[in-house]
A and B are shown apart, each in its own frame.
Chain A
């Protein structure tokens, strides 16, 4: 170091030691100011204009590589993805079907609740638990019995119309005879003109018939039959069936009228058991046949 100073022929400015001291002090000062006061942020941002292109250039290969890696997805991972998606799809589709069934059920339950509110009948929900094994016997068993104070003769309906009638009651179950049971009678009225009649179950899967209606009777296809309330068992005004086909054959005294039930007799699981209708006064004893004959005769006079 001494030699460089002693043999200095050309003027090279201050010696390296002087420069070292100067710049070291400057650096220390900068560090102190930066650490204590943070005055140098603007200087830093101005200088970063010089450096940031370099930095961007430095990080670019990595970014490009990542993008290329994203692009060249291996076939294996695609296959794995596909398999996972298919499995998920299977699970989801099962859930979707369940959800659709639940939606259906929910809708029907809402309808039942609305029905219960609309009419003044109180009723209780019941669910079909068994059906009859014999296809010709139109009966089902529901999960409410005498424990739930279900009585024989109560009417069972769904949100659209009459389904049947309680015929036997067990402690936890009761038997519902559907209106399509053979010879099961429901007193009805034609909604259009108030014509009284009685529907009978036809005994096959889903038909009712109106018997003993004269050929000339005023009934049309599409007529709605509602309960008449006669008999005191069925509450009046509940839809029962819709006239489907009328055969008027002059050779027979009666028209053959077949109807389809309006309620979902063989459709849903949820039913509404109506409370018993108010009891009617006792039906008077029928007159003895002999007396009636006498009266007729006397009437003839």
Chain B
């Protein structure tokens, strides 16, 4: 699979703020789709993956603070405990920002294992909060961690190609 080995050989156009905002809004929208039952357990956390992408690729623009704010919005949208998603996304953004250079050096296949760890910590936060509030650990939460990781490759290649397209159009 050639696209898996695609490290960034070419210089990409600077990302417009509009693109970032749109991607996050779309991710929030996808999270808000009426998922149910098993699909809800299998649902990847689109917002987490998108945030992680921007934190690793544009660590100077999307950082811990913005991730926290988006986490608050996700909390409102999810009607979950106030601060739950915020804490998880804060940790995620920290991981993304700190590991951004290392991750960008890897190709997509190697990135996946790194991303899995970061997303696992995010989902562990969810599970911990749920455990503290409801007194039980919900293991199906971690299914979403796996699907989110699987989402990483198609999503980041999609974003890369979109940024590439902007170059071609010039």
Contacts and interface: CB of A to CB of B under 8 A. Distances in A.
Q: Do A and B form a real pair?
A: yes
25 contacts: A16-B63, A16-B64, A19-B65, A20-B94, A24-B90, A28-B87, A30-B83, A30-B86, A33-B82, A35-B81, A35-B133, A40-B82, A44-B76, A47-B72, A47-B76, A48-B77, A51-B28, A54-B77, A58-B32, A58-B34, A59-B32, A59-B33, A59-B34, A62-B33, A62-B34
Nearest to A40: B82
Interface string B79-102: 001111011001100100110000
A17 B32 contact: no
B83 A27 contact: yes
Contacts of B65: 19, 23
Contacts of A50: 73, 76
- Main SS of chain B's interface residues? helix
B71 interface: yes
Given A30-B83, A51-B76, A54-B29, 10 more contacts: A12-B60, A16-B64, A16-B97, A23-B65, A24-B87, A27-B86, A30-B86, A48-B77, A55-B32, A62-B34
B86 A23 contact: yes
B64 A23 contact: yes
Contacts of A27: 68, 71, 83-84, 86-87, 90
Interface residues of B, number: 30
Interface in B6-53: 25, 28-30, 32-34
Interface residues on A, range: 20 to 34
Q: Select the residue from B72, B77, B83 with max chain A CB neighbours within 10 A.
A: B83
A195 B87 CA distance: 112
Interface of B: 25, 28-30, 32-34, 60, 63-65, 68, 71-73, 76-77, 81-84, 86-87, 90-91, 94, 97-98, 129, 133
Contacts of B25: 54
Interface of A: 1, 12, 16-17, 19-20, 23-24, 26-31, 33-35, 40, 43-44, 47-48, 50-51, 54-55, 57-59, 62
B39 to A, nearest CB: 12
Contacts of A58: 29-30, 32-34
